[in-house]
Amino acid sequence: MRIFIILFFVGFIFNKTNSQNQPRNFSKVDIEDFAQDPALNVRALEIVNDAFAYPVFLTSNGELGIIMTQEICKQIDSLKDRKFYIHKANLSSDSLKLNFRALAARENSGYGVTIGNPALVYKLHVDVERSKIVYQENHPKVFYDSMDFWNDEEGIAIGDPTADCMSIIITRNGGKTWNKISCESLPKAKEGEAAFAASDTNIAIVGDHSWVATGGKASRILYSPDKGKTWEVFDTPIIQGKETTGMYSIDFYDEENGFAIGGDYTRPNAALANKIRTKDGGKTWQVVADGKSPGYRSCVQYVPNSDAKELVAVGFKGVDYSNDGGETWKHLSDEGFYTIRFLNDSIAFAGGKGRISKLTFRE
């Protein structure tokens, strides 16, 4: 009898623990539009974790936006009855038209980088008069695609090659100054290798580790274990070979588990070799869900607190979800977005053409 009780107790604990580790299974997503404007084009979106967590965004026409959530509005008398409020300021002028595709938002500061020539890195402020240019690069081929920070002092932005390597600029003093890494310190780019400014997710950072996803005629991983001091490169099996193919987005759950998605945006329904996964920190990658939906997507993100099992991918063809590490996917919505960031393990904010929305995922 005593042995039976012990075995029963062990079995109970095992089953309870096992059930707790089971991933959820989202079956729908509720979408609430916070902003709708045909002129709005959002590919740069981040969540700031301050006293309250809230989204900030940059647009292709030079606007900086802050979404004050209901929790923040309750603290302001004039806004206390609102569900949300969007504050926008335009950094563009008659003489300087800005197109932002990348944003890095820290607790006390934010930085954005424009596409095209000249490339301009802005230190951002809600009072546009206090925003200022902290880096400028002039070159016919200059085009920066993505930006991220390791901590409040050290950050990175990546762009297309202007010489025979990817363009990488780094700050070590909180964004006050930025310096471009010499091609002598970086892997040589292949012919037609670049990156995509589709969702500001070409860079993934976990601790000191950094992964940069390239695309185009060659689509590889640039990896640094030490916050951009040294670099190596890994091949991937994702579809590549054309200027429009390759990885468009990468995310890492931890130092070992990562996922990348892309394809060919000119053939958005094609799903051959457009989703890849690594379990060894990016050294090797395997194609998953080959030939199965989703096709081209511009952004993929791990769902927080999901043990590297749950993923959400978005693109102009809709929203898709996986709860088995990308092996299988469920199409949740035809609503189109360019980029997405999670507020917690069931709520996210997404930006796209003409809209910024709150997405609530439900089982």
User: How is residue 150 written in tokens?
Assistant: 């390791």
For the segment 346-358, the average pLDDT, to the nearest whole number, is 95
CB-count exposure of residue 70 (10 Å: 0-12, 13-18, 19+)? middle
pLDDT at 167 over 50: yes
pLDDT at 76 over 90: no
pLDDT at 288 over 80: yes
pLDDT at 68 over 90: no
> Residue 265's closest CA among 243, 241, 287, 289?
243
Least confident of 96-100, 212-216, 244-248: 96-100
pLDDT at 7 over 90: no
Residue 40 to residue 59: CA distance in whole angstroms: 7
Identify the pLDDT of residue 21.
64
pLDDT at 1 over 80: no
Where do the domains of the chain lie, and which CATH numbers do they carry? 24-362 (2.130.10.10)
3-class DSSP assignment, residue 125? coil
Identify the pLDDT of residue 88.
85
If you write DSSP's letter for every residue of 64-121 in order, what string do you get? EEEEE-HHHHTTSGGGTT-S-EEEEEE---SS----EEEEEE-SS-EEEEE-SSSEEE
For the segment 316-345, the average pLDDT, to the nearest whole number, is 97
Residue 139 to residue 117: CA distance in whole angstroms: 6
- The residue ranking higher by pLDDT, 8 or 181, is 181
Residue 113 to residue 108: CA distance in whole angstroms: 18
pLDDT at 176 over 50: yes
Identify the pLDDT of residue 52.
80
pLDDT bin (cut points 50, 70, 90) of residue 49 is confident
Residue with tokens 């062990």, as numbered in its chain = 10
How far is residue 147 from each of residues 35, 90, 353, measured CA to CA in Å? 24, 20, 21
Residue 219 to residue 158: CA distance in whole angstroms: 14
For the segment 29-52, the average pLDDT, to the nearest whole number, is 89
Residue 244 to residue 204: CA distance in whole angstroms: 21
For the segment 283-292, the average pLDDT, to the nearest whole number, is 98
pLDDT tens digits along 246-265? 999 999 999 999 999 999 99
User: How is residue 139 written in tokens?
Assistant: 């070159």
3-class DSSP assignment, residue 285? coil
Label residue 200 left, alpha or beta by phi (over 0 means left) and psi (-120 to 50 means alpha): left
Question: 177 near 133, Cβ under 8 Å?
Answer: no
User: How is residue 138 written in tokens?
Assistant: 């002039």
CB-count exposure of residue 312 (10 Å: 0-12, 13-18, 19+)? buried
Identify the pLDDT of residue 108.
73
Percent of the chain's residues with pLDDT above 70: 94
Least confident of 95-109, 160-174, 268-282, 295-309: 95-109
Residue with tokens 């987005």, as numbered in its chain = 249
Helices (H), the chain: 2-20, 70-73
Percent of the chain's residues with pLDDT above 90: 79
Phi, psi of 71, deg, nearest 5? -65, -40
Identify the pLDDT of residue 9.
37
pLDDT at 69 over 90: no
pTM over 0.85: yes
Q: Position 70: which residue type?
A: Q
**Dihedral in degrees, nearest 10, Cα atoms 55, 59, 65, 69:** -30
What average pLDDT is seen over the chain?
A: 92
Identify the pLDDT of residue 70.
82
List CB contacts of 350: < 8 A, sequence separation 6 or more: 45, 314, 319, 337, 338, 339, 340, 341, 356, 357, 359
Identify the pLDDT of residue 12.
38
